[in-house]
Amino acid sequence: MPRVVSDITKLIGNTPVVRLNRLPEEGSAEVCVKLERFNPSGSVKDRAAFSLINNAEERGLIKPGDTIIEPTSGNTGIGLAMNAAARGYKMILVMPDNMTAERIKLLQAYGAEVVLTPAAERMPGAIRKAEELRAQRPGSYIPNQFENQANPQIHRLTTAVEIMDQTGGQLDAFVATAGTGGTITGTGEALKELLPHLHIAVVEPKGSPVLSGGSPGPHKLVGTSPGFVPSILNTSIYDEIIQVSDEHALSTTKALALREGLLLGPSSGASVWAAMQIAKRLGPGKRVLCIAPDTGERYMSMDIF
């Protein structure tokens, strides 16, 4: 049994990896999924949230009792709200009003104030509102997950290290979706240093192919494609962009629950679908690992399952 930890943030990271057995086609490479749902608040964003707050504390920008404001599509907000509750901060999250009811209720359960902006304005609208709120609250702080290097840094220090340990370095391809770009940038950079041959693919919604040079648009891969290319995203780290349709993402999400016993969110479905396409190309004897960002429990209102 693990030792008793001093607070909930000490349980962030060290998430498990599972091999898919029933979904990949015969003759495909092995497909492994890193289950970030096992973080305390249920998503990969617990890592970035912890790092953002730690970094601000170390720089003397915040102290317990202060107010943190952040624009978010949901999971970073939930991770920040959990971290803030455990460490004595007030939390205000600004998000588009098309987020699922489960996400909003989770934020409120951690004591965060939720401010909604028009969905048509996407994340840029939430960012503008967050800046407006900061101007009204002297001493408040915006971590800015889209520009803060503490975001990808935590993945260099933890996610990539865990993957190397869990795979023994036996890895041929790595797949992740991109919201802020922190996960694929930090993890990808660290893995590529150790495994120069590694093929890295970034997943984006077919309906909002911004990384491919297209225009932002509506899609159901919640938490991906904020409608712009974040400054922290290293666009040279990935070798391939895979566009995934809502249909493929949602059908794979449902199949993961029914055939693998994995209840995950739609961005996880997209990540797994993309990983399986690469696995078909690579063939037997190879291994693909993808990141499953969160749990499916916060998407029940989307009628995926």
What is the set of active-site residues?
45, 267
Report d(CA 149, CA 140) in Å as an integer: 20
Report d(CA 141, CA 41) in Å as an integer: 22
Yes or no: say if 158 and 78 are a contact pair by the CB < 8 Å rule.
Answer: no
Residue-by-residue DSSP string for 207-234: T--TTTT------S-TTS--SS--TT--
Give me the phi and psi of 85, to 5 degrees please: -65, -40
Q: How many CA atoms lie within 13 A of 187 on its CB side?
A: 27
Q: Quick check: helix, strand or coil at residue 203?
A: strand
Give me the phi and psi of 68, to 5 degrees please: -105, 135
Yes or no: say if 176 and 152 are a contact pair by the CB < 8 Å rule.
Answer: no
Query: Rg for the chain (alpha carbons), in Å?
Result: 18
Q: Quick check: helix, strand or coil at residue 177?
A: strand
Yes or no: say if 227 and 277 are a contact pair by the CB < 8 Å rule.
Answer: no
Helix then strand count (H, E) for the chain reads: 9, 9
Report d(CA 108, CA 182) in Å as an integer: 25
